[in-house]
Amino acid sequence: MIELRTFDDPRAHSDALAKAVGDALKASLAARGAASADATGQTAHATLAVSGGTSPKPFLQTLSREPLDWAHIDVTLVDDRWVPETDSASNAQLVRDTLLQNAGASAYFLPLVNTARPLEAHIAELNADPRRRLPDVAVLGMGEDGHTASIFADAPEWDFAISTPERFISVHPGAAPHARVSLSMSALKQIGQLYLFIAGQKKLDVLNAALAAPQKNAISTLAHAEGVKLDVYWCA
């Protein structure tokens, strides 16, 4: 199920999504009983996964100022490029420079990349790590080819990416630079609160085409999956 919210002003677009994500995180914390310790003496946390790129910067900066219980929010990424965090292509660097500022500086960050390890060994470690809970809330982006997360239709891992029950996958896009670490399609389908943050007529056209009939791209696969609800925030 798709719910589309449209905006004419980029600031209103970012502010509305920041408010919605903040409310979703508050609800997740309440559901997990963040106000009281669990049987192990640990306080419950909620997990937020965000996307990289240039479009989310204003949203991430706005969200960083939301008055949330950030000390009990774990932040991670939907996907990232297999580059050191010092590289300008790193989504982790973007998150540190935007979301993990202001009030958001109190959040605990779980990056996806460790280039000191071989890529496939690192993927196995991510899938075995008990700290890597399924996100409660995720904010997706979308490319003009219909990819979301780093699930690219032109990657040799396409069939595996949309079918594996594993949470984390490696992806080698055909046209885009850098190998990637990404949440799998199975993981995306299981996230309770999914948002899609996009702008421009071309991306809306890609989304509408993906909704009109199943296509070989990630956003169409996700949108046509049974039981998935996707809240779309689009700005002209």
Q: What is the pLDDT of residues 186-235, one digit of tens each?
A: 999 999 999 999 999 999 999 999 999 999 999 999 999 999 999 999 99
pLDDT above 50 for 34:
no
- CA dist 225 and 219 (Å) reads 10
- 186-221 in b/e form (b: 16+ CB < 10 A) is bbbbbbebbbbbbbeeebbebbeebbeeebebbbbb
148-162 average pLDDT score? 98
pLDDT of residue 42: 63
Looking at residue 41, its pLDDT comes to 53
Mean of pLDDT over the chain = 94
User: DSSP letter at 135?
Assistant: P
Q: Strand 168-171's sheet: what is its strand order?
A: 79-81, 180-183, 168-171
Question: Which residues pair with residue 109 across a beta bridge?
Answer: 75
**C-alpha closest to that of 104 among 72, 78, 139:** 72
Q: What pLDDT score does 24 carry? A: 97
How is residue 153 written in tokens? Answer: 């239709």
The fold for domain 2-30+43-190+203-235 equals Rossmann fold (3.40.50)
pLDDT in tens, 45-91: 999 999 998 889 999 999 999 999 999 999 999 999 999 999 999 99
Q: Is 80 exceeded by the pLDDT of residue 121?
A: yes
Of 35 and 188, more confident = 188
- HEC profile for 105-133? HHCEEECCCCCCCCHHHHHHHHHHCCCCC
How is the chain split into domains, by residue range?
2-30+43-190+203-235
Residues 56 and 80: their CA atoms lie apart, in Å, by 14
Summarize the confidence of residues 100-118 as an average pLDDT.
97
- Based on its alpha-carbon atoms, the radius of gyration of the chain, rounded to whole angstroms, reads 17
The predicted model scores a pTM of: 0.94
Residue with the bigger pLDDT between 40 and 128: it is 128
Tell which residue, 117, 119, 95, has the closest CA to residue 178: 119
Q: What percent of the chain has pLDDT over 90?
A: 92
